[in-house]
Amino acid sequence: DVVMTQSPLSLPVTLGQPASISCRSSQSLVHSDGNTYLNWFQQRPGQSPRRLIYKISNRDSGVPDRFSGSGSATDFTLKISRVEAEDVGVYYCMQGTHWPYTFGQGTRLEIK
């Protein structure tokens, strides 16, 4: 199975400051169809996961533009340019290239 490793696992951030989460995969996530199925999800306390970013860098509808995704092959990053209170929660990267699809351990973002 592809192992997804996130860091940090805990991320205290001051309101208005930037935040960055790293996600590394144990093998390349480039699919034979040419796509890289690397997604980022946000899970607010008590809520279901919400997809923020798909295929590395495509922001979902309704997702604020302070969220951005980047990376390639095995190394990916989610950035929040200015953290707001509503961003508190757990962030997961997920690969959908290799079966079985796997998630990172999650990064808990909290306000400092």
Partner 1 sequence: EVQVVESGGGLVQPGGSLRLSCSASGFAFSTYPMDWFRQAPGKELEYVSAISSNGGSTYYADSVKGRFTISRDNSKNTLYLQMISLRAEDTAVYYCVRSKSWDYWGQGTLVTVSS
Residues that bind partner 1 (CB under 8 A): 37, 39, 41, 48-51, 54, 60, 92, 94, 96, 99-106
Least distance to partner 1 from the beta carbon of 82, Å? Answer: 25
Tokens of 80: 């929040």
Give 41 or 76: the residue with its C-beta nearer to partner 1. 41
Rounded to the nearest whole angstrom, what is the least distance from the CB of residue 15 to partner 1 in the complex?
26
24: left (phi over 0), alpha (psi -120 to 50) or beta: beta
Between 13 and 38, name the residue whose CB sits nearer to partner 1. Answer: 38
52/80 with CB nearer partner 1 = 52
Measured from the CB atom, the residue of 6 and 74 that comes closer to partner 1 is 6
Residues 6+ apart with CB under 8 A from 42: 49, 50, 52, 87, 89, 90, 91
Supply the minimum distance, in Å, between the C-beta of residue 102 and partner 1: 7
Rg (CA), the chain: 13
Q: How far is the CB of 35 from partner 1 (least distance, A)?
A: 9
Q: What residue type is assigned to position 44 of the chain?
A: R
**Cβ atoms within 10 A of the Cβ of 76, count?**
27
